[in-house]
Amino acid sequence: MGSSATPSAAPSAEFLAAFRLRAGPGGALTFAEFMELALYHPALGYYRRPRPRVGYGADTDFYTASTSGPVFGGLVAAAVTTLLAGQDPGAFTFVEIGAEPGRSVMAGVAHPFRSVQTLRLEDPPELRGNCVVFSNELFDAQPFQRFVFHGQAWHQLGVILQDNALVETILPAVAPADFPPAAPEGYIIDAPLAAAALAGRIAAQPWTGLLLAFDYGKSWRELIEATPAGTARAYHRHTQSNHLLAQPGEQDLTCHVCWDWLAAAVAKEGFTSPVIESQEAFFIHQAAGYIAATTTAEAARFSPKKLSLLQLLHPSHLGQKFQVLHATRF
């Protein structure tokens, strides 16, 4: 094995011990295994630490659509009512999967649903009956695998310890299904395979209704043709970086989901015609009445509600950065 990256800042002694234990005699983890350790270790993982991650404060790391508060929830409730196409929303349980601790997209919203169920990242979803299954940045939080085209073959990227620092390394050649047979030397594909598997597990459960997933992603074609450095990045204190191995457990790690894979996973389980569109287009198409009512009610002033709408819909804010997948099974 050969090192392919500059050593990161030294991790904590506790993380080093956890890494050695997980890596075992071979001394190497795939990037997905490293990410699982860095994000989900019971004591050291980023998503397991009891601290705020989402918001605008200096002690948070990033903000999402849910940071806009009840306006986002109101838009979602209005869009769901449209997508249910005449069916009574009161016959459905609204299930949010992957919510941040202490948060719910329906908090403070006069929603039309029979009930609201909020699941955290660590909660296994158990879905039955009529449901609206909603997620916001659930799939990009799943561990992903990294592949590099090197020496006329695809290799998986892994992580090893070198002088008590984490470094990325090239593992033996692999040939993932559906990968292009050739690519420019050094081309990286960050493959969110776990995200697609999770979508399949959610869709396979015995429930009927609407699946609604907000996230950021790209098509498979974009991932293999237009992102030569991959899409992986780290977030810490509202700063994006490519230092993926730095301060494990203290920063978020993410990559773009592959919308083609997610759509295929839910279609396989009987969801009809999955649709993917920008967040801006989705809300304009599905929640136009809510948008009109809000802007009319707040017409005389530049209110927090109008600011939230601007952040959620404008192309230069979250409107184009995020996309929405929706599909139904009745």
User: How far is the C-alpha of 123 from the C-alpha of 96, rounded, in Å?
Assistant: 11
pLDDT in tens, 110-135: 999 999 999 998 888 899 999 999 99
Residues with Cβ within 8 Å of 136's Cβ and at least 6 positions away in sequence, in order, are 64, 65, 66, 96, 98, 99, 105, 214, 215
Q: Is residue 239 part of a domain?
A: yes
Domain count, the chain: 1
User: How far is the C-alpha of 163 from the C-alpha of 7, rounded, in Å?
Assistant: 9
Q: Is residue 4 part of a domain?
A: no
Whole domain around residue 305: which residue ranges?
61-155+172-329
104: CATH: 3.40.50.12710
Q: Note whether 20 and 179 are within 8 A (CB).
A: no
Pairing of strands 207-215, 217-218: unpaired
Q: Among all chains, which residue has been given the structure tokens 């790209």?
A: 218
Q: Which amino acid is at 228?
A: P
User: How far is the C-alpha of 101 from the C-alpha of 57, rounded, in Å?
Assistant: 16
Q: Is residue 186 part of a domain?
A: yes
Would you write out the chain's pLDDT as a tens digit for each of its 330 residues? 334 444 445 689 999 999 999 999 989 999 999 999 999 999 999 888 776 666 666 666 565 666 667 899 999 999 999 999 989 999 999 999 998 888 899 999 999 999 999 999 888 889 999 999 999 999 999 999 999 999 999 999 999 999 889 999 999 998 788 999 999 999 999 999 999 999 999 999 999 999 999 999 999 999 999 999 999 999 887 788 999 999 998 899 999 999 999 999 999 999 998 999 999 999 999 999 999 998 888 776 767 787 888 888 877 677 688 999 999 999
pLDDT in tens, 50-99: 766 666 666 665 656 666 678 999 999 999 999 999 899 999 999 999 98
- What is the Cα gyration radius of the chain? 21
Q: Is residue 164 part of a domain?
A: no
Q: Is residue 129 part of a domain?
A: yes
Q: Is residue 84 part of a domain?
A: yes
Q: Is residue 165 part of a domain?
A: no
User: How far is the C-alpha of 269 from the C-alpha of 277, rounded, in Å?
Assistant: 21
